[in-house]
Amino acid sequence: MKKNKLFISGDEAIAIGTKLARPHVIAAYPITPQTIAVERLSDMVENGELQAEYMHVESEHSAISAAMGASAVGARTFTASSSQGLVYMAEGLHYASGGRFPIVMMNANRSLALPWSIYGDQRDSLGLLDSGWIQVYAEDAQEALDMIIQAYKIAEHPKVLTPIMVNIDGFILTHTYEMVEIPEQEAVDAFLPPFETPNKMSFEEPKNMGFSSQPIDNTEFKYQQDRAILYAHKIIEQTDAEFDKAFGRKYHGMVENYRCDDADQIIVTLGSICGTTRLIVDELRNQGEKVGLLKIRYMRPFPEKEIQELTANAKAIGVLEKNISFGYEGTVYTNVNSAIAKTGKRPYLKNFVGGFGGRNISKDDIRKMFTTLKTQEKTENTVEYFNLNVATDERR
Amino acid sequence: MNRPTKQNYQRPTHIDDFPVGPQFEAGHLADTNAGWRTFKPVIDHEKCINCLICYLVCPDGTIIKTETKPDVDYDYCKGCGVCAHECPKDAIEMVKEQR
């Protein structure tokens, strides 16, 4: 069968993936570098290609509020944001996850002010890790498109009912062009049945929605929410396997093991930088080095078991992230370190932090990280800001 | 009249029986709510002309229309006294609660 391929940007891939999922309502506010995604969706609604209600809201706070209202009564709902817009939505993010509304959102990972920057890093979404959303990070435009389709299936599962944030790196993925295979609409329809909400708005079964709680009930609601997102682990793997069957592409569920099995040194990372890391792993493997890449796909639920298994025999592990929790270490590192600590093993661990506000992470940066891991260089701090443009030693 | 009535709410004993998110059937009154009332409105049906101004102004909807003269739902009346203040016939008296 001839495959339909298009040369498109990551934003366009998101728009096409969303169209194929047939949402009823799209509520979004444009923000760089997400803008093209919602512009394309707006075009599709305008020209009738997509039968949906496109709500032109006045802010991101309104976007998530409108999306919640629609999702609450059973509409398949999409929103998208980035950076300042995402943090402006923060109140609504907790609302949506607590309300168990399976909204799918695209987030274009971008730096947070101040200083103002429109360029990429992952501080926006990682700073909202505790908002109760499932978070997935795509490596390229194809994965971005495919994850929108998978996301609806996972989010709407009756035992999950949790919103999902599909993250793609600002500019690196949103604005670069790749060949992307476009699934057939009939195949997507077969893969993704219509959303059945337990809270349909009807005269037969009127519902009181989004009510308050007293201390006697609140803990149980939070326990239930946590349990649902943990349960999603299974549904994520199941959905990826079904997707593979239907479309011939798979992403290995929670994480991807790229040459980790016999690796002495492993870099754990997420998002587009996995592509560059993959190249360096191949290059070093050709030189006889035993190195691997552990690509984190989902940050919530967290792939604890997978990380423990894949790093079990490694001598050194580096966590590379475009994020810092000021005053401590990178959040991804904190999570990975916690998983490894539970095994009782203590390999050499390092947190490589950088790539903020759009700074490129080069092949050479990654080569140096593998060297640090191999030599197990003794340093004062676990956190290493790589590629700083200034000296940081103590001045006399 | 079609008023929601207090129903016995069976608190779930297993998490699987908990509502999925804060959503539940509408109009389910699980509790009474009148504990902070210090004065209660008492309607003198002799003076009352059934004009239903009290019914209209009650902020909590606790004045009940009947076939003849209105009554007060003391399970939900908060004792604010608006009805007594607005009654054109002074037919409602605020009487101190005896506890």
Q: Which of B20, B26, B28 has the CB atom closest to A161's CB atom?
A: B20
- Pairing type for strands A177-181 and A255-258 reads unpaired
d(CA A173, CA A8): 10
Task: Say if residue A161 is preceded by a cis peptide, omega within 30 of 0.
Answer: no
Residue A390 lies in a domain: no
Residue of B nearest to A222 (CA): B21
- Pairing type for strands A291-296 and A348-353 reads unpaired
d(CA A17, CA A64): 20
Output the pLDDT for position B1: 53
Shared domain for A179 and A76, answered yes or no, is yes
Residue A19 lies in a domain: yes
Q: Is A247 exposed, middle or buried (0-12, 13-18, 19+ CB in 10 A)?
A: middle
Task: State the angle between helix axes of A141-155 and A215-247 in degrees (0 to 180), rounded to the nearest 10.
Answer: 130
Shared domain for A221 and A283, answered yes or no, is no
Output the pLDDT for position A203: 84
Output the pLDDT for position A311: 98
Q: Measure A128 CA to nearest chain B CA, in Å.
A: 20
User: Taking the mean position of all CA atoms in its chain, how far away is CA A266?
Assistant: 21
d(CA A128, CA A126): 5
In this structure, the number of other CB atoms found within 10 A of the CB of residue A143 comes to 23
Please give, one letter per residue, the 3-state secondary structure of chain A: CCCCEEEEEHHHHHHHHHHHCCCCEEEECCCCCCHHHHHHHHHHHHCCCCCCEEEECCCHHHHHHHHHHHHHCCCCEEEEECHHHHHHCHHHHHHHHHCCCCCEEEEEECCCCCCCCCCCCCHHHHCCHHHCCEEEECCCHHHHHHHHHHHHHHHCCCCCCCCEEEEEECCCCCCCEEEEECCCHHHHHHHCCCCCCCCCCCCCCCEEECCCCCHHHHHHHHHHHHHHHHHHHHHHHHHHHHHHHHHCCCCCCCEEEECCCCCCEEEEECCCHHHHHHHHHHHHHHCCCCEEEEEECEEECCCHHHHHHHCCCCCEEEEEECCCCCCCCCHHHHHHHHHHHCCCCCCEEEEEECCHHHCCCCHHHHHHHHHHHHHCCCCCCCEEECCCCCCCCCCC
Output the pLDDT for position B11: 86
pLDDT band at B31 (very low <50, low <70, confident <90, very high): confident
Q: Measure A116 CA to nearest chain B CA, in Å.
A: 37
pLDDT band at B98 (very low <50, low <70, confident <90, very high): confident
Residue A278 lies in a domain: yes
Domain C-terminal end among A226, A247, A268 = A247
**Inter-chain residue contact A227 with B28, CB threshold 8 Å:** no
**Inter-chain residue contact A99 with B20, CB threshold 8 Å:** no
Q: Which of A205, A211, A227 has the CB atom closest to B22's CB atom?
A: A211
* β partners of residue A28: A56
Contact A114, A207 (CB under 8 A): no
Specify whether the backbone of A387 is left (phi greater than 0), alpha (psi in -120 to 50) or beta.
left
Shared domain for A232 and A262, answered yes or no, is no
Single-letter amino acid code for the residue at A143:
E
Instruction: Work out how many domains chain A is built from and give that number.
Output: 2
Residue A392 lies in a domain: no
Shared domain for A28 and A169, answered yes or no, is yes
Q: Measure B25 CA to nearest chain A CA, in Å.
A: 4
- Give the CA distances from residue B74 to residues A43, A54, A264, A276, B92, in Å, rounded to whole numbers and listed in that order: 58, 48, 75, 71, 14
Residue A393 lies in a domain: no
Domain C-terminal end among A216, A247, A278 = A247
Question: Who wins on pLDDT, A394 or B93?
Answer: B93
Shared domain for A147 and A173, answered yes or no, is yes
From chain B, the residues in CB contact with A205 under 8 A are 25
Shared domain for A201 and A311, answered yes or no, is no
Shared domain for A192 and A88, answered yes or no, is yes
Q: In terms of Cα–Cα distance, which of A55, A82, A85 is closest to A70? A: A55
d(CA A217, CA A226): 15
How many Cβ pairs within 8 Å bridge chains A and B?
49
Phi, psi at residue B46, to the nearest 5°?
-70, -45
Residue with tokens 């932090």: A353
How large is the greatest C-alpha to C-alpha distance in chain B, in angstroms? 55
From chain A, the residues in CB contact with B23 under 8 A are 99-100, 198-199, 207-211
CB burial of A43-67 (b: ≥16 within 10 Å; e: otherwise) equals ebbeeeebebebbebeebbbbbbbb
Shared domain for A29 and A144, answered yes or no, is yes
Domain C-terminal end among A247, A263, A291 = A247
Q: Which of A206, A210, A212 has the CB atom closest to B25's CB atom?
A: A206
Single-letter amino acid code for the residue at A180:
V
Residue with tokens 């991804």: A332
Shared domain for A318 and A182, answered yes or no, is no
Residue A65 lies in a domain: yes
The one-digit pLDDT tens for each residue of chain A (396 residues) are 568 999 999 999 999 999 999 999 999 999 999 999 999 999 999 999 999 999 999 999 999 999 999 999 899 999 999 999 999 999 999 999 999 999 999 999 999 999 999 999 999 999 999 999 999 999 999 999 999 999 999 999 999 999 999 999 999 999 999 999 999 999 999 999 999 888 887 888 888 899 999 999 999 999 999 999 999 999 999 999 999 999 999 999 999 999 999 999 999 999 999 999 999 999 999 999 999 999 999 999 999 999 999 999 999 999 999 999 999 999 999 999 999 999 999 999 999 999 999 999 999 999 999 999 999 989 889 999 998 999 998 887
Q: In terms of Cα–Cα distance, which of B49, B47, B42 is closest to B63? A: B42
From chain A, the residues in CB contact with B15 under 8 A are 220, 223-224, 227
Residue A38 lies in a domain: yes
Output the pLDDT for position A289: 98
Contacts of A63 (CB under 8 A, 6+ apart): A27, A28, A29, A55, A57, A79, A81, A89
- Domain residue limits at A308: 255-385
**Inter-chain residue contact A198 with B23, CB threshold 8 Å:** yes
Shared domain for A271 and A193, answered yes or no, is no
Mean pLDDT (chain B) is 92
Residue A55, domain CATH? 3.40.50.970
Does residue B28 sit at the A interface (CB-CB below 8 Å)? Answer: yes
Residue A334, domain CATH? 3.40.50.920
Segment holding B85, helix H or strand E = helix B82-86
Shared domain for A191 and A310, answered yes or no, is no
Contact A321, A354 (CB under 8 A): no
**In A, what residues contact B, Cβ < 8 A?**
98-101, 161, 198-199, 205-213, 220-221, 223-225, 227
